[in-house]
């Protein structure tokens, strides 16, 4: 790791002002992505501004049909939260299969979506549920937030403060875990909104990051059941291929995970 | 058996310090004035080193020195050696390319060191390393074995035309051809034995400390065999004569073979510590472990097995290509030859075997012994062949094996090994019973109704352990003897120190070795301590690998104990005014048999050291040593059966049951044996399902971190169902065969046999990743 200066911010405003004062600052949340990258000397921030202890970035709120998870809430706290389990159990399940216990105790929803790893789990949930990303400056819909591999709509120095999810009629997530990293080799989140709209998002599959799957959405809109997807064909073109999964295999997984997510949806 | 004697499930003495974080590993050691080394490693698989400019780095804060391969060669530090000479079928010696500890001219794999920065801290050394400019001229590289042996392939070493290390044969070709000529059926199989990265939990590390006044070096290093390290460092690398070099291997966090070898980093640390006049520490990180720890396996094999009309095996032909990587590591030459092809008879009566092994250089990390070393490759091949044969001949795979088992012992195979004893039917029966083999078809049918493909796979392995009778291995080209030594020191107050040439890096010697003493003397193990891993404390010994520490190392302790006990009995008889022949040892006392006359061990020990009243002419003291050279290998064997389900939608495998019935001869501590089996099985399952060290066509490693290289985790493996069937090894007085490698040798075939049974297709390479299994299911 290169030399860096650590700051613990006590408020979002303080974090923003610290960011403005340093040459190449990085926000730090759970550190489960940033710290390994720094240890490998692949990132060299002059300053690290820790968001982890900011009170206003912690916790979960359920108000009417909206579930809001603050940005620095850890996966573990999300997984065990009663409101999450009640309102959108698929999110509690998603966090339970994310990484390993050490990662879940430290990693945060804000860090995950800011990083936008093409195999991360949470981007699929945000996209399928039509969530809204709240920052210190604005609100951004999930459809506009994820911009491809490791790229988001966030501006330099912009801080995610929370994510709000409209509570769906039904939602489910299934993931084939990458055998080494335990990220999603492919994961599919399916959701049926209270107004009957169907949204399906796949992660780990596409070369351009998390994606909607219109063919499956159409099939499920017509008939919300696993068998409705039987005859859908997912093209392998544009899908990721690596030593753990060919593009054809991932295309198959998009379909199979979608079917299982529908079967598990509550 | 006493409460802590042979056969007792004694809790491991060493675990208190390991579990409470009080272990003392190389990296825990900090010497006054210590500097830190960081190696500059080639990013290219094959390149000329045209120049190294360290001028900027030398000006950076905390930098003590930047040393290069050229300086190392100028200082006449010797090239790395290979300690086992193999002769090709044409009579020519193996072709060894020169391997300097840092490359002065040419790098041949990604990660090969070209220079080292010595600085006040690891971080400063890393900072400065980034300022060292190495001018490489890239050369064409070849990582794939089959590509490497083609005409026109990039050539690695001028010494080895065609990238061939050797072309070696074993067995009787004429007899084998004759058997095939009269065969009723021939079964053919192509298999790849995937390359593995060993990944001991503790990365390799070294601290070298040169004392200029004494012209003496001390090396702390992660070694499975510190004396062998000292011998090689002094005899071949011109570091220092043996009496001026002390090698200490303190607590070592796993080896699996990868810490047998003497690596460039410890050589460079020693040389550098003299150059800079201060201690030099190097601790590898995980990436360096992936790039530079010797890898394992990596064979491509075509085999054919001939059967007569009664489904008896009459011949076996094998041709194997073995990847050596870019250089010949210390014991690499023996692994695909004498540790592999000599086990090709498996548990079966095979009258004629012929095997040919071609060693190949590629621009990849060197390959050497890794848990099982050659024997997993042999066992996997034979057990895949038997399964393939059963499918082709349409007979039950367990019954085909049974009808070909060797049942008479001793049994001379056509490939050198003479099996001393065993009962292969007993372990097959035990495993079949444990898994309810007969009930499998019903379970398979039920799983099918649930949409799952269920399979069962048998693997009957045998290995040659207790490595090794020195004369025998010497006649086959080994550069060392493979005996073991031990010393028993009874202290004046009766506590006991056992000094052993074996080295414990996870095996639990500090417990099991004490149990032998407890058994013989009837004293608690708390009164015994085990000293190992320091060439200044322990007499020359050969170290730990090849499941040898109990069969060979513990037998050496037994021999020393017998000498000590004999002297102690004389002292006791003298004190008790009895005949030596009437003295028996019980509960820590020397008793005159049939009487109540006794003298306690501490009193005997005290008498030995006060020497006030010893038998006439007896030397004072109570300390004996012994060297034990085994007369044969030992032959642990057993049956593993795996039952699993494949999800046809994803190709994912889930275990239903995994049973292991092993014959290890006598068990000293069944709990520790079970731990060894568990670990071995997990490594075997890891090879079958998850692990694969992969290079791209240009020799760039694709799997140099745990993000890509899939190590098995607890939830990847089932809860194991273990049992033992026992035939005592006649070759050593304790009847021990060894248990350290069995799991890794036998497990992978059981898994692949079960998956291929489940999916109804016989061709499936390891690792059987979900993607690969799914594609195999759905292939036309
Ligand atoms: C072993 C391992 C396994 C893993 N497995 C999975 C998995 O299965 N699924 C999965 O989805 N992920 C997985 N991860 C990644 C994990 O989820 C990370 O926690 C996540 O990617 C980053 O979250 P973090 O809170 O740790 O962020 P950090 O590492 O602290 O930060 C990551 C990036 O986000 C930025 N950032 C953080 N918070 C904010 C914010 N509030 N506003 C703006 N920018 C911010 C940081 O500046 C940084 O650039 C794994 C990681 C590890 C180490």
pLDDT tens digits along B481-506: 999 999 999 999 999 999 999 999 99
Q: Which atom of ligand 1 is nearest to the CA of A28?
A: 30
Q: Following CA atoms A153, A156, A160, A161 in sequence, which dihedral angle do they give, to the nearest 10 degrees?
A: -140
Give this prediction's pTM: 0.97
Pair (B489, B430) in one structural domain: no
Pair (B636, B653) in one structural domain: yes
Pair (A30, A107) in one structural domain: no
User: How far is the centre of ligand 1, averaged over its atoms, from the C-alpha of A50 (Å)?
Assistant: 13
Classify residue B473: in a domain, yes or no: no
Contact yes or no for B320/B355 (Cβ under 8 A): yes
**Contact status of A76 with chain B (Cβ, < 8 Å):** no
Q: What is the pLDDT of residue B2?
A: 63
Pair (B318, B461) in one structural domain: yes
Pair (B426, B443) in one structural domain: yes
The distance of B125 to chain A (nearest Cα, Å) reads 12
Pair (A115, A187) in one structural domain: no
Query: Residue A56: which H helix or E strand, with range?
Result: none
Pair (A148, A162) in one structural domain: yes
Q: What is the pLDDT of residue B780?
A: 77
**Contact status of A44 with chain B (Cβ, < 8 Å):** no
Structure tokens of B486? 């031990």
Q: Residue B528 is part of a domain; what is its CATH number?
A: 3.30.365.10
Residues of chain B positioned with their CB less than 8 A from the CB of A42: none
Pair (A66, A20) in one structural domain: no
Structure tokens of B182? 């009269």
Pair (A43, A76) in one structural domain: no
Q: Following CA atoms B674, B678, B684, B690 in sequence, which dihedral angle do they give, to the nearest 10 degrees?
A: 180
User: How far is the centre of ligand 1, averaged over its atoms, from the C-alpha of B289 (Å)?
Assistant: 26
CA B727 to chain centre: 24
Query: Residue B224: which H helix or E strand, with range?
Result: none
Mean pLDDT for all residues in chain A: 97
Q: Which domain holds residue B597?
A: 483-628
Structure tokens of A266? 């509550």
Task: Please tell me the distance from the alpha carbon of residue B711 to that of residue A181, in angstroms, as a whole number.
Answer: 10
Pair (B488, B616) in one structural domain: yes
CA B199 to chain centre: 13
Pair (B623, B667) in one structural domain: no
Task: Please tell me the distance from the alpha carbon of residue B750 to that of residue B766, in angstroms, as a whole number.
Answer: 12
Classify residue B706: in a domain, yes or no: yes
Contact yes or no for A118/A209 (Cβ under 8 A): yes
For B401-461, give the DSSP string: HHHHB--SSSEE-SSS-EE----HHHHHHHHHHHHTGGGHHHHHHHHHHTT-EEEEEEEEE
- Say whether A243 and B692 touch across the interface (CB within 8 A): yes
Residues of chain A positioned with their CB less than 8 A from the CB of B687: none
Pair (B347, B451) in one structural domain: yes
Classify residue B406: in a domain, yes or no: yes
Q: Which atom of ligand 1 is nearest to the CA of A107?
A: 19
Pocket test for ligand 1, best of A11, A27, A121 (most atoms within 8 A of CB): A27
- Domain boundary, last residue among A146, A166, A186: A166
Q: Which atom of ligand 1 is nearest to the CA of A27?
A: 47
Contact yes or no for B333/B448 (Cβ under 8 A): no
Number of domains observed in the structure of chain B: 3
Q: Residue by residue, what is the 3-state secondary structure of B265-277?
A: HHHHHHHHHHHHC
CA angle B518, B520, B524 (to 5 degrees): 20
User: How far is the centre of ligand 1, averaged over its atoms, from the C-alpha of A23 (Å)?
Assistant: 22
Number of domains observed in the structure of chain A: 3
Pair (A188, A233) in one structural domain: yes
Pair (A132, A182) in one structural domain: no
Structure tokens of B329? 């590591």
Classify residue B332: in a domain, yes or no: yes
User: How far is the centre of ligand 1, averaged over its atoms, from the C-alpha of B712 (Å)?
Assistant: 23
Q: Residue B122 is part of a domain; what is its CATH number?
A: 3.90.1170.50
Which residue in the set A180, A245, A248 is minimally distant from B707, CB to CB? A180
- Say whether A246 and B771 touch across the interface (CB within 8 A): yes
Residues of chain B positioned with their CB less than 8 A from the CB of A253: 650
Pair (A176, A114) in one structural domain: no
Query: Residue B193: which H helix or E strand, with range?
Result: strand B185-193
Number of Cβ within 10 Å of residue B475's Cβ equals 9
Task: Please tell me the distance from the alpha carbon of residue B225 to that of residue B541, in angstroms, as a whole number.
Answer: 8
- Domain boundary, last residue among A166, A192, A207: A166
User: How far is the centre of ligand 1, averaged over its atoms, from the C-alpha of A72 (Å)?
Assistant: 10
Which residue in the set B652, B710, B771 is minimally distant from A180, CB to CB? B710
- Say whether A41 and B126 touch across the interface (CB within 8 A): yes
The CA–CA distances, whole Å, from B132 to B49, B60, B276 equal 13, 11, 19
The CA–CA distances, whole Å, from A264 to A93, A188, B175 equal 10, 12, 62
Residues of B with CB under 8 A from a CB of A: 123, 126-127, 287, 649-652, 689-690, 692, 694, 702-703, 706-711, 716, 769-771, 774-775
Contact yes or no for B348/B310 (Cβ under 8 A): no
User: How far is the centre of ligand 1, averaged over its atoms, from the C-alpha of A120 (Å)?
Assistant: 9
Which residue in the set B287, B649, B710 is minimally distant from A179, CB to CB? B710
Q: Residue B71 in 3-state DSSP?
A: helix
Residues whose beta carbon lies within 6 Å of some atom of ligand 1: A 26-34, 36, 51, 71, 98-99, 103, 106-108, 110-112, 114-115, 117, 120-122, 159-160, 181-183
Task: Please tell me the distance from the alpha carbon of residue B606 to that of residue B401, in angstroms, as a whole number.
Answer: 59
The distance of B710 to chain A (nearest Cα, Å) reads 4
Which residue in the set B127, B649, B771 is minimally distant from A244, CB to CB? B771
Pairing type for strands B313-325 and B133-138 reads unpaired
**Backbone phi and psi for residue B451, each to the nearest 5 degrees, phi listed first:** 80, 15
The distance of B746 to chain A (nearest Cα, Å) reads 23
> Could you report the per-residue pLDDT of B236-270, keeping only the tens digit for each?
999 999 999 999 999 999 999 999 999 999 999 99
The CA–CA distances, whole Å, from B726 to B308, B417, B703 equal 32, 20, 41
Contact yes or no for A106/A96 (Cβ under 8 A): no
**Backbone phi and psi for residue B387, each to the nearest 5 degrees, phi listed first:** -65, -45
How many CB pairs below 8 Å do chains A and B form together?
53
> Could you report the per-residue pLDDT of A68-116, keeping only the tens digit for each?
999 999 999 999 999 999 999 999 999 999 999 999 999 999 999 999 9
Pair (B510, B457) in one structural domain: no
Q: For an interface test with A, which of B450, B686, B705, B771 has the most A Cβ atoms less than 10 Å from its Cβ?
A: B771
Whether ipTM tops 0.90, in short, is: yes
Pairing type for strands A160-166 and A170-177 reads unpaired
Classify residue B184: in a domain, yes or no: no
Task: Please tell me the distance from the alpha carbon of residue B41 to that of residue B49, in angstroms, as a whole number.
Answer: 11
Q: What is the pLDDT of residue B1?
A: 47
The CA–CA distances, whole Å, from B171 to B89, B467, B472, B625, B715 equal 12, 22, 17, 40, 43
Q: For an interface test with A, which of B650, B701, B717 has the most A Cβ atoms less than 10 Å from its Cβ?
A: B650
Classify residue B307: in a domain, yes or no: yes
- Domain boundary, last residue among B237, B268, B292: B292
Pair (A159, A174) in one structural domain: no
Pairing type for strands B216-221 and B245-248 reads parallel
- Say whether B774 and A249 touch across the interface (CB within 8 A): yes
Pair (A156, A188) in one structural domain: no
**Contact status of A4 with chain B (Cβ, < 8 Å):** no
User: How far is the centre of ligand 1, averaged over its atoms, from the C-alpha of A108 (Å)?
Assistant: 6
Q: For an interface test with B, which of A2, A41, A180, A204 has the most B Cβ atoms less than 10 Å from its Cβ?
A: A180
Q: What is the pLDDT of residue B3?
A: 86
The crossing angle, in degrees rounded to 10, of helices A214-222 and A247-264 is 30
Pair (A101, A40) in one structural domain: no
Pocket test for ligand 1, best of A33, A116, A153, A189 (most atoms within 8 A of CB): A33
In chain A, which residue's Cα lies nearest the Cα of B286?
A40
- Say whether B690 and A179 touch across the interface (CB within 8 A): yes
The CA–CA distances, whole Å, from B565 to B233, B487, B558, B611 equal 37, 13, 10, 17
- Domain boundary, last residue among B603, B628, B653: B628
pLDDT along chain B (780 residues), means of 10: 87 96 97 98 98 98 98 96 97 98 98 98 97 98 97 98 98 98 98 98 98 98 97 94 97 97 97 98 97 98 98 98 98 98 98 98 98 97 98 98 98 97 98 98 97 98 95 93 97 97 96 97 97 97 94 97 98 97 97 96 98 96 98 97 98 98 97 97 98 97 97 96 97 96 98 98 97 94
Buried b (16+ CB within 10 A) or exposed e, B9-35: ebebbbeeeeeeeebebbbebebeebb
Pair (A177, A229) in one structural domain: yes
In the block, residue with structure tokens 């990039």: B154
Pair (B592, B679) in one structural domain: no
- Domain boundary, last residue among A166, A198, A227: A166
Percent of chain B with pLDDT over 70: 100
Which residue in the set A180, A252, A256 is minimally distant from B708, CB to CB? A180
- Say whether A252 and B707 touch across the interface (CB within 8 A): no
Pocket test for ligand 1, best of A74, A94, A107 (most atoms within 8 A of CB): A107
Q: Which domain holds residue A155?
A: 56-166
- Domain boundary, last residue among B604, B628, B652: B628
């Amino acid at each position: 790791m290169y030399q860096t200066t650590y700051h613990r911010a006590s408020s979002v405003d303080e974090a923003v002002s610290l960011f403005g004062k340093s040459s190449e600052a990085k926000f730090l949340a759970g550190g489960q992505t940033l710290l390994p990258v720094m240890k490998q000397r692949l990132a060299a921030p002059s300053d690290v501004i820790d968001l982890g202890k900011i009170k206003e970035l912690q916790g979960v709120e359920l108000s009417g049909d909206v579930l809001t998870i603050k940005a620095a809430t850890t996966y573990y706290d999300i997984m065990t939260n009663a409101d999450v389990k009640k309102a959108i159990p698929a999110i509690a399940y998603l966090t339970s299969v994310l990484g390993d216990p050490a990662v879940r105790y430290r990693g945060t929803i804000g860090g995950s979506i800011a990083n936008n790893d093409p195999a991360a789990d949470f981007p699929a949930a945000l996209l399928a549920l039509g969530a809204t990303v709240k920052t210190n400056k604005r609100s951004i819909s999930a459809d506009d937030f994820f911009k491809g591999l490791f790229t988001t709509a966030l501006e330099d120095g912009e801080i995610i403060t929370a994510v709000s999810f409209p509570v769906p009629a039904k939602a489910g997530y299934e993931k084939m875990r990458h055998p080494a990293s335990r990220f999603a080799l492919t994961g599919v989140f399916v959701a049926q909104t209270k107004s009957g709209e169907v949204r399906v998002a796949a992660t780990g599959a596409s070369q351009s990051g998390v994606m909607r799957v219109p063919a499956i959405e159409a099939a499920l809109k017509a008939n919300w059941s696993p068998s409705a997807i039987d005859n859908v064909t997912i093209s392998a073109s544009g899908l990721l291929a690596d030593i753990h999964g060919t593009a054809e295999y991932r295309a198959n997984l998009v379909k199979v995970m979608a079917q299982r997510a529908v079967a598990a949806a509550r | 058996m006493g409460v802590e004697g042979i056969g007792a499930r004694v809790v491991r003495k060493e675990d208190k310090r390991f579990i409470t974080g009080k272990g003392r590993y190389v990296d825990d050691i900090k010497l006054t004035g210590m500097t830190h080394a960081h190696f500059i490693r080639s990013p290219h698989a094959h390149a000329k080193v045209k120049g190294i400019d360290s001028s900027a780095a030398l000006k950076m804060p905390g930098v003590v020195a930047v040393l290069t391969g050229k300086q190392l060669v100028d200082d006449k530090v010797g090239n790395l050696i290979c300690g086992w000479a193999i002769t090709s079928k044409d009579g020519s010696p193996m072709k060894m390319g020169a391997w300097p500890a840092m490359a002065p001219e040419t790098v041949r794999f990604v990660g090969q060191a070209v220079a080292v920065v010595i600085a006040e801290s690891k971080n400063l050394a890393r900072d400065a390393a980034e300022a060292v400019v190495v001018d490489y001229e890239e050369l064409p590289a070849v990582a794939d074995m089959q590509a490497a042996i083609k005409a026109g392939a990039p050539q690695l070493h001028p010494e080895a035309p065609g990238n061939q290390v050797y072309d070696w044969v074993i067995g009787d070709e004429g007899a084998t051809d004759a058997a095939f000529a009269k065969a009723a059926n021939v079964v053919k199989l192509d298999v790849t034995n995937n390359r593995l990265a060993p990944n001991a939990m503790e990365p390799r590390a070294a601290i070298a400390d040169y004392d200029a006044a004494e012209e003496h070096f001390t090396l702390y290093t992660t070694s499975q065999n510190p004396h062998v390290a000292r011998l090689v460092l002094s005899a071949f690398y011109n570091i220092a004569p043996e009496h001026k070099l002390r090698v200490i291997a303190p607590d070592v966090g796993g080896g699996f073979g990868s810490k047998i070898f003497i690596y460039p980093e410890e050589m460079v640390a020693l040389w550098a510590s003299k150059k800079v006049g201060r201690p030099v520490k190097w601790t590898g990180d995980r990436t360096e472990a992936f790039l530079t720890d010797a890898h394992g396996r990596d064979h491509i094999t075509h085999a054919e097995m001939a059967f007569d009309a009664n489904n008896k095996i009459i011949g076996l032909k094998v041709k194997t290509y073995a990847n050596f990587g870019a250089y010949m590591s210390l014991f690499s030459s023996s692994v695909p030859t004498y540790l592999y092809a000599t086990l090709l008879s498996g548990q079966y009566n095979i009258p004629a075997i012929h095997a040919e092994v071609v060693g190949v250089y590629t621009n990849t990390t060197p390959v050497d012994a890794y848990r099982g070393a050659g024997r997993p490759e042999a066992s996997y091949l034979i057990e895949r062949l038997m399964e393939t044969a059963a499918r082709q001949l349409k007979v039950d795979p367990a019954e085909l094996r049974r009808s070909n088992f060797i049942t008479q012992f001793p049994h001379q195979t056509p490939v050198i090994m003479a099996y001393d004893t065993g009962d292969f039917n007993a372990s097959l029966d035990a495993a079949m019973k444990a898994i309810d083999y007969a009930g499998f078809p019903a379970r398979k049918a039920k799983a099918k109704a649930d949409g799952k493909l269920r399979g069962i796979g048998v693997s009957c392995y045998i290995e040659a352990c207790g490595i090794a009778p020195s004369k025998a291995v010497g006649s086959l080209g080994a550069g060392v003897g493979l005996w073991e030594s031990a010393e028993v020191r009874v202290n004046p107050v009766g506590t006991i120190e056992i000094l052993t040439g074996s080295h414990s890096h996870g095996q639990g010697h500090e417990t099991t070795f004490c149990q032998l003493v407890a058994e013989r003397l009837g004293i608690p193990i708390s009164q015994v301590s085990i000293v190992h891993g320091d060439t200044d404390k322990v007499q020359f010994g050969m170290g730990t690998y090849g499941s040898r520490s109990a069969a060979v190392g513990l037998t050496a302790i037994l021999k020393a104990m017998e000498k000590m006990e004999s002297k102690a009995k004389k002292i006791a008889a003298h004190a008790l005014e009895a005949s030596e022949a009437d003295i028996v040892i019980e509960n820590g006392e020397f008793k005159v048999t049939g009487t109540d006359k006794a003298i306690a061990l501490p009193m005997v020990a005290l008498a030995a050291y006060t020497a006030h009243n010893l038998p006439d002419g007896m030397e004072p003291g109570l300390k004996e040593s012994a060297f034990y050279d085994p007369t044969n290998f030992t032959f642990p064997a057993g049956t593993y059966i795996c039952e699993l389900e494949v999800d046809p939608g994803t190709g994912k495998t889930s275990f239903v049951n995994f049973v292991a019935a092993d014959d290890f001869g006598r068990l000293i501590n069944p709990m520790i044996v079970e731990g060894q089996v568990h670990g071995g099985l997990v490594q075997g399952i890891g090879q079958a399902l998850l692990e694969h060290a992969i290079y791209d066509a240009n020799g760039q490693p694709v799997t140099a971190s745990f993000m890509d290289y899939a190590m098995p985790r607890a939830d990847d493996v089932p809860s194991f169902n273990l049992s033992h069937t026992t035939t005592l090894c006649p070759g050593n007085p304790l009847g021990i065969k060894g248990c350290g490698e069995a799991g890794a040798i036998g497990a992978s075939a059981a898994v692949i046999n079960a998956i291929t049974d489940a999916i109804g297709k016989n061709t499936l390479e390891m690792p059987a990743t979900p993607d690969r299994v799914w594609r195999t299911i759905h292939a036309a």
